[in-house]
Structure 1
Amino acid sequence: MNYQEMVANLTPDLVARFKTAVELGRWPDGRSVTPQQREDCMAAIIAYESLHVSAQERTGYIDKGAKARASRAAPETQPLKFEDEPSGEQQ
């Protein structure tokens, strides 16, 4: 079985288990995820989502358009100006 066939055979349930394993660092049975397994799971998640999930719903998606719109809509800020206290006695 080649890589494309493996990705085609992934199910949403299996991908969800991979996500949980990557997030928690443990498999459902409690065994630790090795660094190589974590890397393989992340690659499988990315490959699966690139074929079956819209870009806006993929793991790690950042809506740069919304961020750009928010920064354009934000009012301009003015720097704070600190004034020295006048010398002499304070009342």
Structure 2
Amino acid sequence: MEVNNYAIEPMLRSCGISIGDQFTQVQGRVPTAPKVPSFQSIDIPDSVDVVDENAQFRRATPLVRVEKIRKATADGLTMDKFEKIEIGAVLE
């Protein structure tokens, strides 16, 4: 703003726009962080427990996945057919 003098721009003046040459200053404060009470009587489970209860969303380790893909391709499945089979059949 100090280097660029927008106030003398003729197009802005013709449109009725005026820009001050001073920066806007705002007074403010940074609030303190809120105090969190201790949860001694409340048991908060880990977020991973929710995923572990539903076996549909579990993933095998990378080595197990590779072995299952090798087995599926050895049985005559190509990658285009492999994508169309049910996930449960591959992960069993």
TM-score, normalised to structure 2, is 0.22
- Report which of the two has the higher share of helix: 1
Higher relative contact order (CA 8 A, sep 6+): 1
Quick check: which has more Rg, 1 or 2? 2
